[in-house]
Amino acid sequence: MENINTVFVDGPLTQQAEELALHCAKQSGSEQPEESTLVKKLHALDPETPADELVALLMPELSALSATPAKEYEAAYNQLFFIVKSAAPATIAKSLSALMNEITTGAAEVPVALRLKVLSNLFNLLPAQSPLRADIFLAVVRLAARSDLSQAVVPQLAKLDLWAKEWQLTPAQVTQLYLEISRSLSADQLSPDALTFLVKALRSSQDDPTYTTGSLKAEAARAVGATLQNPDLYNFDQLASLTPIRDLKGEPIYELLSIFLQDALPRLQEYLAANAAAVAEYQLDPEVLLSKMRHLSLAALAGRHIGRQLAYADIASVLAVPEDEVELWVIDAIRVGLVQAKMDQMSRTILVNRTTYRSFGQEEWAAIQSQLTTWDQSLTETLQVIGNAKLLAQQQAPRPSASVNTATSTTSATPAAGAQTTAS
């Protein structure tokens, strides 16, 4: 979808409308299409007839227009779009719903890819700032998703934030747009793109003055469940900061999110044992949850050993796994980006270079302060050692001999004496 607004149509609007009516009559099976009531009526109109009146006459013919063979389908609709675009804004807005409905649900013989192309033409025909573009884009996404062609619109999703600003949508409209996109892209399970737009919707709702507490509770719970279930997502802190997510306090799904934010493996195991119904309701896989918690527990343990060796045995104890499996868990934590470390199989330790905190609070600041204090003490001691070494080197350096200085003085004085004798 590019911002191109060109449709090549020749002739005045009344002529275009008459040609389109003739085409529709043919598609309806009329033996004498030139004699159809609509064709005659349009032929008798004044050439300066307003576009609004032409649109009103043509819109009832949409079903016949949709019967157009595929090779003529795009051209026929472009001709209608040209007439509609020339009408008043109110007429365009009123016609849009019927147009989109007919294109997306009309004759089944028309390939979906061609329907998407025609909707794209309609999108590009409107001004870049027109909020009506949002409705057309939604129709494109719904049709693509319904036909298993979602990947065809994924490249356009990256532009949606910018488009929403161009269309000057209110926060409430942005929220609804993102929710609709998310619903269209998802089936039983939220796809990564669907989850992205669901979270965008929850974030946008925070700017909506009409937002009411709990109004997005179901959507918030679904976002939490999908994030926890995704084996590659660990950014729970930002999710938990959203207002609709905080509205879930007291719900089992919020308790589970809190466990991932601040608790460890034993607490999660207790929750899973006591909340089997909630886990099933949100379609969560306990094994996925346990794996993610082990990754987070490993990252938390590594965070307390940055720059130091961490024994396999200590890792195995925290993760509640056999020591022989530690390397696999370390590799997996490195893969998901939670830890940077080097493994030493000989000493059965890892050297931690970096770790990612799941949340950043007082405990994490205290850990950083402790680490900085350690580094400060280490640097102070290093500088002291360097200073002592310099002082010792200066003390042990050989000093110049006194006899050498005297000889030098005598030698330099002799020519002066000789010079005085010669002069006398």
pLDDT, tens digit, for every residue of 289-332?
999 999 999 999 998 898 899 999 999 999 999 999 999 999 99
What CA–CA distances, in Å, run from 267 to 258, 261, 295, 366? 11, 12, 15, 23
Tell me: the pLDDT tens digits for 61-110?
999 999 999 999 999 999 999 999 999 999 999 999 999 999 999 877 89
Tell me: the pLDDT tens digits for 140-187?
999 998 888 888 888 899 999 999 999 999 999 999 999 999 998 886
Where does the pLDDT of residue 359 fall: very low under 50, low under 70, confident under 90, or very high at 90 and above?
Answer: low
Name the residue with higher pLDDT: 409 or 153.
153
Structure-token pair, residue 253: 């799904």
Name the residue with higher pLDDT: 214 or 278.
278
Query: Which of 105-109, 118-122, 188-192 tops mean pLDDT?
Result: 118-122
Name the residue with higher pLDDT: 186 or 413.
186
Where does the pLDDT of residue 363 fall: very low under 50, low under 70, confident under 90, or very high at 90 and above?
Answer: low
pTM above 0.95?
no
Position 402 scores a pLDDT of 52
pLDDT for 413 beyond 60: no
| Residue 66: half-sphere exposure toward Cβ, Cα within 13 Å | 20
CA distance 88 to 23: 25
pLDDT for 400 beyond 50: yes
Position 150 scores a pLDDT of 85
Position 28 scores a pLDDT of 84
Structure-token pair, residue 43: 């032929």
CA neighbor of 238 nearest in space, from 219, 216, 217, 260: 260
Place of tokens 């161009």: 166
pLDDT for 384 beyond 60: yes
Q: Which domains does the chain have, with CATH numbers?
A: 1-124 (no CATH), 293-374 (1.10.10.10)
Name the residue with higher pLDDT: 40 or 6.
40
Tell me: the pLDDT tens digits for 76-87?
999 999 999 999
Position 423 scores a pLDDT of 40
Name the residue with higher pLDDT: 413 or 47.
47
Position 362 scores a pLDDT of 66
pLDDT for 336 beyond 80: yes
Give the least confident one: 271-280, 288-297, 364-373, 396-405: 396-405
Tell me: the pLDDT tens digits for 26-43?
988 877 878 888 888 988
Residue 354 β-bridge partners:
340
Position 258 scores a pLDDT of 96
pLDDT for 1 beyond 70: no
Euclidean distance between the first and final Cα of the chain, in Å?
109
Position 403 scores a pLDDT of 52
Structure-token pair, residue 347: 């000493």
Position 407 scores a pLDDT of 45
Where does the pLDDT of residue 214 fall: very low under 50, low under 70, confident under 90, or very high at 90 and above?
Answer: confident
Position 187 scores a pLDDT of 67
Q: What is the arithmetic mean of pLDDT over 260-271?
A: 95
Name the residue with higher pLDDT: 40 or 408.
40
